[in-house]
Amino acid sequence: MTDPVQTLDYGYVETSATQRNKVLRNTYWLLAISLIPTVLGAWLGVATGITRGLTGGIGLIVFLGVAFGFMFAIEKTKNSAAGVPVLLAFTFFMGLMLSRLLAMVLGFKNGSGLIMTAFGGTAGVFFVMASLSSVIKRDLSGMGKWLFVGALAIMVGGIINVFVGSTAGMMVISMMAIGVFSAYMLYDLKQIIDGGETNYISATLALYLDIFNVFQSLLALLGIMGGERD
Q: What is the per-residue pLDDT across 70-111, written as a single tens digit (0 to 9) for each?
A: 999 999 999 888 899 999 999 999 999 999 899 989 888 888
What are the CA-CA distances from residue 223 to residues 101, 116, 184 (Å)? Answer: 9, 12, 24
What span, in angstroms and rounded, lies between the C-alpha atoms of 195 and 8?
18
DSSP conformation letters of 20-39: HHHHHHHHHHHHHHHHHHHH
What span, in angstroms and rounded, lies between the C-alpha atoms of 182 and 143?
12
Look up residue 148 and give its amino acid. F
**pLDDT higher than threshold 80 for residue 165:** no
**pLDDT higher than threshold 50 for residue 5:** no
As a whole-number percent, the residues of the chain with pLDDT over 90 amount to 50
pTM: 0.87
Contact between 102 and 45 (Cβ < 8 Å): yes
Where do the structural domains in the chain lie, given as residue ranges? 4-226
pLDDT in tens, 107-155: 888 888 999 999 999 999 999 999 998 888 888 888 888 999 999 999 8
**pLDDT higher than threshold 60 for residue 1:** no
Confidence of residue 20 (pLDDT cuts 50, 70, 90): confident
Contact between 142 and 191 (Cβ < 8 Å): no
pLDDT at 207: 95
Confidence of residue 198 (pLDDT cuts 50, 70, 90): confident
What span, in angstroms and rounded, lies between the C-alpha atoms of 218 and 121?
8
